Amino acid sequence: MRTLQIANKTLRRLRHWSVTHSFRIYNSTYVNAMEVTRVPRITQADVAACDFSFTISEVVAKPYHHLALEDQPIATSPVVPPRNKSYGFSEDDFDEPGCAASVILALTAPEHDVGGGGDDDGANKGRRRILGYAFAFQDWNGMATLNTIALDASLRGKGQGKRLFDAVVQWASEEGIKGIRVESQSNNVPACRFYKKQGLSFGGYDEFVYRAIDEHKTETALYWYYMLDDGDDEAGRSDAKQA
């Protein structure tokens, strides 16, 4: 796949910074200082120190229709040996010409909260570092496509992914968009569990979309939907259950 609070729809610019070293979070005090902010662009330098990779130790088990059952956990099959996967990062991913609306949301923390623990000489005071981001745009069918939601490995399981997703939902609601569509893959089980936990409905799958790409040919695209129109939500969930 290509994942909260925004004060308003006004575009606010972050300072750009250069990343000179890798980092890890050492304590939980950074959580309250983290912010989700709408930004005009994210560069390779902004996220160079982030680890967006994940470990594949299991895949979603077939038949996939069980994903539509709200109260049933996701069935999986083990992957031996486990392997790592990364979607990579490209600034070109933010270019969606012709779309009616789009948003880039950055999850940031103060530099001193994500540094290596050394003395702060004040040079980084007021500066913030990106630890995750989401990119969504209004697609041809009037729905929003959540193209990317990415979070540094050190922050996963701490509620920050939900903050990013909630910000996308808020943006879509303010734009009058009636639903959000997102794709995950059968080997990204954590993402599937996350989307299901956020209340997304399973809308279907495509086993052929990656067949021509050797390194991804065993992956299945899984599609999830979050409907913002209450009147259509129950119908959408009912249809998904029958898929």
Question: How many whole angstroms separate alpha carbon 156 and alpha carbon 53?
Answer: 11
21 Cβ contact list (under 8 Å, min separation 6): 49, 116
Rounded average pLDDT over 5-19? 29
110 Cβ contact list (under 8 Å, min separation 6): 30, 33, 124, 126, 127, 128, 129
Rounded average pLDDT over 186-200? 98
pTM exceeding 0.75 = yes
Rounded average pLDDT over 215-219? 95
At residue 31 the predicted structure's pLDDT band, cuts being 50, 70 and 90, is low
Q: Which two tokens stand for residue 39?
A: 């930004």
> DSSP assignment, residue 74?
P
Q: Are 46 and 17 in contact (CB under 8 A)?
A: yes
Question: How many whole angstroms separate alpha carbon 11 and alpha carbon 87?
Answer: 27
122 Cβ contact list (under 8 Å, min separation 6): none
Task: Read off the pLDDT of residues 123-182 as tens digits, 9 standing for 90 and up.
Answer: 556 789 999 999 999 999 999 999 999 999 999 999 999 999 999 999 999 999 999 999
Q: Is the pLDDT of residue 5 over 70?
A: no
**So what's the pLDDT on residue 97?**
72
Nearest to 201 by CA among 94, 67, 1, 19: 67
Question: How many whole angstroms separate alpha carbon 227 and alpha carbon 93?
Answer: 24
Distance of CA 133 to the CA centre of its chain: 7
Q: Is the pLDDT of residue 94 over 70?
A: yes
Q: Which two tokens stand for residue 135?
A: 């990119």
b/e code 81-113 from CB counts within 10 Å (16+ = b): eeeebebebeeeebebeeeeebbbbbbbbbbbb
Mean pLDDT of the chain: 82
Nearest to 46 by CA among 15, 3, 4: 15
Q: Is the pLDDT of residue 9 over 70?
A: no
Phi, psi torsion values for 153, nearest 5 degrees: -55, -30
**So what's the pLDDT on residue 134?**
98
Rounded average pLDDT over 32-61? 95
Q: Are 181 and 223 in contact (CB under 8 A)?
A: yes
Question: How many whole angstroms separate alpha carbon 136 and alpha carbon 50?
Answer: 20
- Within 13 Å of residue 156, how many CA atoms lie on the same side as its CB? 16
